[in-house]
Amino acid sequence: MQREREEVAYFDRERFSAFLDNLIFEGVATSEILNVIDDEMIEKLNRMEWKPDTVQVIPGISSAVAFYGEHYTTPETIRQNALNRLNGQYPDEEIELIQPDKGFPEIYQIPLGFTEPQRMLLQQFVAQEILQNSYEGLGVTAEDVDLFIITCSIPIQEDWAERISRMMGIPIEKMIIYHKACNSTGSAIFDVHNHEYDDELRERVEGFDLGERAVISTIAIEDANSITGKSDKMSPLLFATAVGATTFEYSPLPNRGPLTLVTGIQKDIEEGAQHLRYQKTYDEKNWPQYREKYRVIESKFLQSPPEGWLVDMNGPESGVYFRVNGIELTKEVLTEFAKVLSAADENFDFRIEEGDKKGEFDLTKYVQFIKKAIVHHPSHVVFDNLGKRLTQPNFGIGFKTEQVPFVIPEGNAPSVIIHIALARQLNDGEFGEGIKDGDKFMILSFGAGGSFTCAIYEYTDVSKLPAAA
């Protein structure tokens, strides 16, 4: 099911003023915040586009996503924009002209020059819009949310997430923040279904252990490209601005919620973490008690760049590292999947009968039982090379090409990407048949700090289930 909605003009003074008035009325902001909106901010907003997808809904899951910002559509304009953002940090000749088949054919980025309070306001604005759309798609309100997970790479201010929580009317004790870079959303979805939060959900949801479902709300906001100062020369060529929210029901019992974790693995790998690093905003000096107060989940081996740089990325080396380790983790998960299927039915025991790998599971026989592989999109090159390894039998996996479609041409918005990739494949559309009752699908995500998550889920159409016992 797709929920159609009327398109509106998002970025204008009148709409922002109404938004601010509501924040003041609800007690989330003071009247002084009205001074945040000035003519310069409006001029920047007028250059921005808002590109939302239709809200995607299947029983038990609702996903709303949007790219926003200035829209660049050719390699030349993308490169020129990158040069403006790097502001002489690198010689012009060091900034490549990245073609669409290596980077992205288009990209959305918010203009430079927003002040910190203005960025905070903009994030609150888009968060409210996207969360409300997600809740409406599932037929719930913020009051129904039992666990609120914010996934974002680089926070703005110490209380940035708390403001979003208060704005939506969700108590802070229900909030958890994931700072695992590109892997934040994939990791959060995995942790929920790996029963990490069952204890606290039992206290909030009556009948939880008997099959009554909790409501989980996840949101990611990415606009790291807006930050000035030192950064690696690849980020402004690849990083995009986007927001995404996925709201889903969850049961600790198999096949009582829309998603059941069949098998999955999370890993934090120290080797290679140096290829992609960023400067954390939060430490005990700057933001004391931030980690404890907001229950922050972090990449274990995330390192800070030298000289206080915000982002330090070796693009080619990090791409190779992600591809190699992503494939190895996929093989591990598929092997566990093979064990699950073969243990349930000996007719699904497909083992190699000869050669060096005799006795091992033939993983190419098991991918036929997985409808889709939903994969992070760090760049066209990384995605394509990862896809080749996922789809070519000589790499030992053997997905069909249509099982691993390239679904995101608008840029890498790190922690939002899994929201977008999942949303665009929930229903029938240009990327193939959607997810239906009994289908299994895989999510593979990875990010800075050597953080990797690969998991296989089974979808259950919860509209067909009887009431909880």
Could you read off the pLDDT of 164-177 as tens digits, one per residue? 999 999 999 999 99
- Both 220 and 340 in a single domain? no
**pLDDT tier for residue 4 given thresholds of 50, 70 and 90:** very low
Measured distance CA(281)–CA(241) in Å, rounded? 19
- pLDDT score, position 6: 45
- Both 284 and 170 in a single domain? yes
Mean pLDDT, residues 106-130 taken together: 91
pLDDT at 91 over 80: yes
Between the CA of residue 156 and those of 23, 299, 301, 313, what are the distances in Å? 18, 18, 22, 21
Task: Rounding to the nearest 10 degrees, give the CA dihedral for residues 447, 448, 453, 454.
Answer: 50
Parallel, antiparallel or unpaired: strands 451-459 and 440-447? antiparallel
- Both 199 and 159 in a single domain? yes
Percent of the chain with pLDDT over 90: 66
Mean pLDDT, residues 428-445 taken together: 96
CATH number at 340 reads 3.40.47
- Both 48 and 111 in a single domain? yes
- Both 62 and 99 in a single domain? yes
**pLDDT tier for residue 425 given thresholds of 50, 70 and 90:** very high
pLDDT at 198 over 90: yes
Does residue 26 or residue 370 have the better pLDDT? Answer: 370
**pLDDT tier for residue 5 given thresholds of 50, 70 and 90:** very low
- Both 385 and 295 in a single domain? no
Does residue 4 or residue 62 have the better pLDDT? Answer: 62
Measured distance CA(119)–CA(134) in Å, rounded? 22
Query: For the chain, how far is it from start to end, CA to CA, in angstroms?
Result: 28
CATH number at 152 reads 3.40.47.10
- pLDDT score, position 154: 81
Rg (CA), the chain: 22
- Both 214 and 122 in a single domain? yes
> Mean pLDDT lowest for which of 9-23, 239-253, 308-322, 371-385?
9-23
Between the CA of residue 123 and those of 31, 51, 414, what are the distances in Å? 18, 15, 15
pLDDT at 330 over 70: yes
Look at residue 18 and tell me if it is in a domain: yes
- Both 299 and 375 in a single domain? no
Does residue 305 or residue 53 have the better pLDDT? Answer: 53
- pLDDT score, position 304: 86
At position 255, the amino acid (one-letter code) is: N
Residues in the chain: 469
Look at residue 469 and tell me if it is in a domain: no
**pLDDT tier for residue 229 given thresholds of 50, 70 and 90:** low
- Both 331 and 302 in a single domain? no
pLDDT at 255 over 90: yes
Range of the domain at 425: 316-464
Does residue 36 or residue 320 have the better pLDDT? Answer: 320
**pLDDT tier for residue 393 given thresholds of 50, 70 and 90:** confident
pLDDT digit string (tens) for 339-381? 999 999 999 999 989 888 899 999 999 999 999 999 999 999 9
Burial class (CB in 10 A: 0-12, 13-18, 19+), 373: buried
User: Helix, strand or coil for residue 204?
Assistant: helix
| 123: its two tokens | 């994030």
Provide the H-helix boundaries in 274-393.
Answer: 290-293, 315-344, 380-391
Look at residue 186 and tell me if it is in a domain: yes
pLDDT at 35 over 90: no
The whole-chain average pLDDT of the chain stands at 91
pLDDT at 228 over 70: no
Measured distance CA(3)–CA(206) in Å, rounded? 30
Contacts of 266 (CB under 8 A, 6+ apart): 187, 190, 451, 452, 453
- pLDDT score, position 200: 97
pLDDT at 2 over 60: no
Residue 225 near residue 241, CB atoms below 8 Å: yes
Look at residue 62 and tell me if it is in a domain: yes
Look at residue 274 and tell me if it is in a domain: no
- pLDDT score, position 46: 87
- Both 84 and 227 in a single domain? yes
Look at residue 265 and tell me if it is in a domain: no
**pLDDT tier for residue 394 given thresholds of 50, 70 and 90:** confident
Look at residue 272 and tell me if it is in a domain: no
Does residue 201 or residue 309 have the better pLDDT? Answer: 201
Total domains in the fold of the chain: 2
**pLDDT tier for residue 3 given thresholds of 50, 70 and 90:** very low
pLDDT at 467 over 80: no
**pLDDT tier for residue 468 given thresholds of 50, 70 and 90:** low
Look at residue 268 and tell me if it is in a domain: no
Measured distance CA(363)–CA(65) in Å, rounded? 33
Measured distance CA(411)–CA(355) in Å, rounded? 43
Report which listed range, 275-289, 309-323, 436-450, is most confident.
436-450
How many H helices and E strands in the chain?
12, 16
- Both 358 and 419 in a single domain? yes
- Both 227 and 350 in a single domain? no
pLDDT at 28 over 80: no
Measured distance CA(240)–CA(414) in Å, rounded? 8
